[in-house]
Structure 1
Amino acid sequence: MTNSQDTPPSTPGNPVLPAPAGTRTVADVVTPELVVQLTRGVTGTGRTAGHTPFTGERLAELPEATPEDVAGAFARAREAQRAWACTPVRQRAAVLLRFHDLLLARQDEVLDLIQVETGKTRLHAHEEVQEVSLTARYYGRRAPALLRPRSHTGAVPVLTKVTELRRPKGVVGLIAPWNYPLSLSVGDALPAFAAGNAVVMKPDTETALTALWARDLLVEAGLPAEAWQVVLGEGPVVGPAVVEHADYVAFTGSTRTGRDVAQRAAARLVGCSLELGGKNAMLVLADADLDKAAQGALRACFSSAGQLCESIERLYVHTSVAEAFLARFVARTKAMRLSTALAYGAEMGSLAGQRQLDAVVRHVDEARDKGAKVLAGGRARPDIGPYFYEPTVLDGVEAPMAVCAEETFGPVVSVYRFTDEDEAVDRANATPYGLNASVWTRDGRRGRALAARLRAGTVNVNEGYAAAYGSVQAPLGGMGDSGLGRRHGTEGILKYTEAQTVAQQRLLPLAPSFGMDDAQYARLMSVSLRAMKTLRLR
C-alpha cells in the first residue's frame, strides 16, 4: 500500500496562500493572560493541554476534571439554576440578545481562536459566528412566545380550564465536539439557558478555549457565571460523569459514542438529543446548472476540510452530464488555495489532528490500491502543516472499499453515476445514516419533490448544507444512525423543558352529582360526547 501521508509533494498540487503581511500568529492569539482569564473558575484538579493543528504545538495547559470534580460542578449549577429559573423569561431572553451584539462586535477574537484550535479557514470559522448570531437572535426574540403558558380545551368545555406550562429540565449536560467549537458549544447552550436551565458542558479539550471564550462573553452579557460550568478531560472519564448527573443530555459526536450516551441516559430515565455521523449524498440532476453545482459541491465537500457532520461525501451525477460536471468540479478542486493564515482568502485549512489524517489516508490509499481513480488530491501536504491533506475526488469507488460506506470526516468525496432519479434516490438512501443531503436542478419544484423522498433530516436544494444549517427557525438533526432529536426551531428549545398540565375543574365535578346514579351520569356523558363531536369541539 502506498502511504500518501508521508509522501511530500513532488508535482504541483493545490496552491498555498501565504499569510498577508502583519497577520496575527498563534502566539499573538493564545497568550498566558488569555488562558488565565478564560480558565478562571473552571473545575479541575489535574492538568491537560490543547494543541493547534497548524503546527501540532501545544497551545495551553488547562484544568482537567475528575468524576468528583464533575459532581461538584453539577452541585454548583443546580444551586444557580434555581435562581435563574425564577428570572422572568424576557430577562433571560434579553441576555441572548446582548450576547448577539457582543459576539458580532468582538468576532475577530473568536475567529482567531476557532482557526488556531481547529485549523479551518477564516471564512469557515465565520460560518460559526453567523449560526450562533442567528440562534441568539431567534431564541432571544422568540423564547417568551415559545415558552408562554398555553390554554387548551378541557375535558368539559368551560367547566374544565387547562393550562400547559413549560418548566426547565434543571441542569443540562452538554458534550460538545472539536469540529465546530462555537456553534456546538454556546449555540446549543443558548436555548437551554433561555428555557431556564443551567448547563454543565464538556467541550473537547483541543478546542476548549473557544467554548470558554463564549462562556466569558455570555457571562458579560448577563448570564450568572455559576449557571454555566465547564469541565475538561478525557471523554471516557468525564463524559460518563456528565451523563450520570445531568437532567438532560445534549451530545454531538460519533454514532458509536452516541449509542453509549443514549444507553446511559436511558438507564437513568433522562432524555437526550444526539447529532451523530453521516455519509451525506449530493444529487446532480441532468438539468442542473453545472457551474453552480460544481461550485456548490466545492463548499459542500470541503468546508472545514470536510470535518462537518453535514459535509457531502457521496456525489451522484446523472450520466448525461457527468463528464461535463466533473471537468468543472475537478478543475476547481485542484485550484483550491490552502493556508494556515489567520486571514480571509484561503479555501481550505488543516485537518484537526493525527487521528483525522490517519482516517483520510487509510480511506484514500485503500481505495486507490483496490482500483479507484484519484481525480484530484490524494496526498498529504506536510509542506504546509502536519495535518494538511489535499481536497480529494475519487472515481470508481465500489462497495468493498471502506470509503464507500464509512464516514471519512475529511476532504474526500466519491463520485458515482446514475441514469434515472429513482436509482439515485435508492442509492442515496442506501445507508444507515440520514443527516443531510443535497439536490441540484434548475426546477425548484422538482428538486423539492425529490428532496422529500430522501431519508435525511435536512435536504438542501441548490445548496450543500448552509441553507438548512442557517435556517435556525427550522429543526436540524438526523434520522437513523445520524441521531435523535433536533436543534434549532421550536423543538430546539422545548427539548430542554418538561411539559406540565394544570387542569382546574369548575362548578361541577367529573363524577355523578345532583343525585344522579352511575348509569345516569354515564348516559349524560355519552350524550355530551356526541354533542361535542357534532359541534366540532376539540
Structure 2
Amino acid sequence: MDRQFNISGGHRAAGGDWYAVENPAFLTPIAEAPLTAPQALDDAVASASAALGSWAKDPMGRRNALKGCAALLASNLEDLAVLLSREQGKPLPAAKREILSAKSYLEYFADKTVHQEVILRDTNRTVVALSSPVGVVGLIVPWNFPLVLLMMKLAPALWAGNTVVVKPAPTTPLTTLAVASLFAACLPPGVLNTVTGGADVGASLVSHEGVAKISFTGSTPTGKKIMESAAQTLKRLTLELGGNDAAVVLQDADLETSAPLLFERAFMNAGQVCCAVKRLFVHRSLYEPLVEKMVAIAKHWRVGPGLNEGVQMGPLNNRQQFEHVKGLLDDAVAGGGRIVAGGDTPPDWPGHFIRPAIVVDITDSRRLVREEQFGPALPILPFDDEDEAIARANASEFGLGGSVWSRDIERATALVSRLEAVNLFVNQHATPPEPAIPFGGMKSSGFGYEFGDWGLDEFVVRKVLHSPVGGMA
C-alpha cells in the first residue's frame, strides 16, 4: 500500500508506525499515513523554530514562495483533486473547486501589502505600530475542507513571517501531506512541517512549549480542551468552532429563487460545513410551499461516490459522524417529527451515505434543532412573528452565522443584524470564504478571526514604537 510521509525540516520525516486511511464511500484503504511519535513532533517544532529567524526577515522571499506554492497547486490540480475526493468523499468537481480556492488564497497573500500605521504624530514625537510574527504556529485542520481550511490559516501565517506545524485530521491527511511535499520545493526547510495521527498528537502540539500559537478549526468540545491546555503556556488562540446557523424566511420571500439556494447551503459537502444552514425557520404562510419545494429537490439530489459522474453529494467522512446524524434523526422521529424526504442509506455502496433528510413537525427542544448535526439533515420549523423567529434563532449556544430571506432588503438587513452571530447574510448563506473578508464566531462558535485584516492580526504581535522628533526625548 502507498504511504504518504510527514515533512519535517524540508525533508521526509523518518517513518515509525502507520495507519490506513479509508475511502468513506467504499470503506476500503487508500494509503497509509504516519502515526507521529513524540520525538518526531519535537523535531518538527525544532525545525520550525530554527527556520523562523531568516524567514521572518525576508518579506519578498515569502511572497515569491507563496506564488510558487500557488503555481504548484495549479499544476497538480487533477491528481490532488482525485486524492481529496477519495479520502474526504466529496464529488470530484467540489474537490477541484476546493483546491482552486486554496490556490487563490495563496495568490491573494502573495500580493498583499500593508502600510505602516501611524498612531500619533505631533511636534514632539511619532508613535507607529509595528508587526512581528508570533513565532511557531500550530495549525490544526478538520476533515470537511482539508485544503481550504489549511490555506485559510497557512497563507496569512506564512505571509506574516511565522513558521508552522500542521496537524491534519486523522481521516484526511493524505492531500495535506501531498501538498506539503510539493511545497518543499518552494519553501525553505523548516517553514512548513507536518505531524499526523490522532487526538494525542494534536494535544501534544497544543501543549508544546515551543509553539507560540494554535489556530484550530473543529468541534466546540475539542476547542474547550485546547483552550484549557493552551492556558498552561499562555498560547495565543484562534478557535473557529461549531455552528448551528439559522435561516429565517419571511412571508414575502421569493421561494422560486430562495428554495434552491437554501437547499444547496444546507446540504453542500453533505452538510459538513460549519456555517451551513442547519435550522430553517419559515413564516407559517410559506411553510408548506417551501417544504414541498425542498422535498422535490431532495428526491432528485444525486448521492454517490465522489468520483462517479454527476454526483452532487458524497458520503459523510467517517463512521462517527454517520452515527451522530442517524442518532439525531432517530431522536427527531421519537419526538414526533416526520422525515418527509431522505434520511435513508442508498443500498448500492457500503460507505457512510445518508440521503438529504428534510424533517418537519419537530420542536425546538429536539436534538436535531439544538445540536450541530454537521450532516445532511435539515429541520424546517414554522413561525408566526418576526420577533418570535429571531428569539428562537438566538436560543442557541452557537453564534457562527445566520441569514434572513425577503424581497425587502432593508427590512431583512435590519432583522438579520439582531441575530447573535458574526457572519450575517441577506438572501444568501455561507458564501465561499474570501480572503479580504473576516470570518469568525461568537458564543460557543469560538473567537478570533480568519481572513481580512482582522484575521492577519491573529498571526502577528502588535508593537508600539515611540520615537522623538529631532533627537532625544
- Asked if 2 retains the 8 angstrom alpha-carbon contact of 1:43 and 1:231, the reply is no
**Aligned AA for 1:229?**
N
Q: Does 1:78 align with 2:49?
A: yes
Matched, 1:474 2:437: yes
The alignment-based identity, stated in percent, is 33
Alpha-carbon distance between aligned partners in 2 of 1:158 and 1:37, rounded to the nearest angstrom: 55
* Partner residue of 1:414 out of 379, 403, 406: 379
2:62 corresponds to: 92
Q: Deviations over 1:305-349 (max 9, x none)?
A: 111111111111111111111111110011100121425521111
After superposition, the Cα gap between the structure-2 partners of 1:339 and 1:150, relative to the gap in structure 1 and judged at 3 Å, is same
Write the deviation string for residues 38-67 of structure 1: whole angstroms up to 9, x where unpaired: 896136532222111011112212221122
Asked if the contact 2:6/2:193 (under 8 Å) is kept, the reply is no
How far does the alpha carbon of each residue in 1:132-154 deviate from its partner, in whole angstroms, 9 at most, with x for none?
23322322222x31xx4333315
Decide which moves more: 377-386 or 479-488: 377-386
Structure 2 residue runs of 5 or longer lacking an equivalent are none
Q: Deviations over 1:380-401 (max 9, x none)?
A: 2242332111110101112442
Output the CA distance in 1 between the equivalents of 2:158 and 2:291. Answer: 46
* 1:507 positional shift: 5.0
Over residues 273-294 of structure 1, what are the superposed CA-to-partner deviations in whole Å (9 max), with x where a residue is unaligned? 0011111111111111102111
Q: Distance in 2 between matches of 1:396 and 1:63?
A: 47
Q: Establish whether residue 69 from structure 1 lines up as the match of residue 32 from structure 2.
A: no
Question: 1:419-434 to 2 correspondence within 5 Å?
Answer: 419-434=384-399
Aligned to 1:483: 446
Q: How does 1:258-407 map to 2 (within 5 A)?
A: 258-342=223-307, 345-407=310-372
Q: Which residue of 1 is the match for residue 16 of structure 2? A: 45
Aligned to 1:125: 95
CA distance in 1, matches of 2:461, 2:50: 19
Q: Normalising to structure 1: TM-score of the pair? A: 0.83
1:277 counterpart SS class: coil
Return 293-302 or 375-384, whichever deviates more: 375-384
1:417 partner SS: strand
TM-score for the superposition, normalised by structure 2: 0.94
1:184 aligns to 2:155 (yes or no): no
Are 2:140 and 1:152 aligned?
Answer: no
For residues 207 and 417 of structure 1, what CA distance do their matches in structure 2 show?
Answer: 38
Partner secondary structure for residue 69 of structure 1: helix
* Cross-structure match for 2:463: 500
Does the CA-based 8 Å contact 1:315-1:415 persist in structure 2? yes
Going by fraction, where is strand more abundant, 1 or 2?
Answer: 2
For residue 402 of structure 2, what is the amino acid of its counterpart? A
Distance 1:85 1:500 in 2: 15
Q: Which amino acid aligns with 1:74?
A: V
**Distance 1:371-1:485 versus aligned 2 partners, 3 A rule:** same
CA 1:508–1:114 in structure 2 vs 1: closer, same or farther (change >3 Å)? closer
Tell me how large the CA RMSD over aligned residues is.
2.1
Residue type of the alignment partner of 1:252: T
Residues 65-99 of structure 1: CA deviation (Å, up to 9, x unaligned): 12232112101111011111111x23312322333
1:227 aligns with 2:227: no
Distance in structure 2 (CA, Å) of the matches to 1:309 and 1:471: 16
Partner of 1:312, secondary structure, is coil
Instruction: Name the amino acid aligned to 1:62.
Output: A
Select which of 23, 28, 35 maps to 1:57.
28
Which moved further from structure 2: 107-116 or 248-257? Answer: 107-116
Q: How many residues align?
A: 470
Q: Which has the larger radius of gyration?
A: 1
Show structure 1 runs of 4+ deviating over 4 A. 36-40, 507-510
Which secondary structure does the structure 1 equivalent of 2:227 belong to?
helix
> Which residue, out of 101, 107, 132, partners 1:137?
107
